[in-house]
Structure 1
Amino acid sequence: MILLEKFLNSKPLYYDVIDLSRMPKAYEYIKPHIKLGKVIHLVGTNGKGSTGRILSSLLLSKGVSVGHYTSPHILKFNERIWINGRDIDDERLEQAHKRVFSLLPENVANSLSYFEYTTLLALAAFERCDYIVLEAGLGGEFDATNVVEKDLSIIVPIGKDHQQFLGDSLEEIAATKLRSIDKKALLSPNQPEIVLEVAKHIATEKGYEIYLTQEILNSNERDEIYKNLATNGWADYLKDNALTAVAAMKLLGFDDFGTLPERVELRGRFEKIATNVILDVGHNELAASAIVKALKGKKVVLVYNTLEDKDAKTILSILSPVIKRVEIIPIQTQRQMAIDRLKSIVEELNIPYCDFKSINEEEEFLVFGSFYTAEAFLKMI
Structure 2
Amino acid sequence: MTAEETPVSSPTKRVLTVVLFNLLVYIVIGLPNAVLTIFVHHTLGYSTTIAGLAFSLQYLATFAARPSAGRLVDSIGPKPVVLGGLVTCLISGLLMIGAGWSGETPAVSLGILLLSRLFLGWAESWAATGVIVWNIRRAGAENTAIAISWNGICSYGGIALGAPIGAKLSQLPHPYGGIVSVGILSVILPLFGLALIGFYKGIKPLPSTEKPVPFTRALRLVLPHGMALAAGSIGFGAISSFLALYYAVLHWEGAATALSVFGIVFVVIRFFFASQIARRGGVFVAIVSLLIEAVGLACLAIFPSQGAALIGAALTGAGFSLLFPALGVLAVNSAGPQNRGAALGAYSIFIDLAIACSGLVLGQVIEFAGYKTMFGTTAVCCLVGVLISRSLGRKPAV
TM-score w.r.t. the length of structure 1 is: 0.26
Write 1 or 2 for the structure with the bigger share of strand: 1
Write 1 or 2 for the structure with the bigger share of helix: 2
Structure scoring higher RCO (CA < 8 A, sep ≥ 6) equals 2
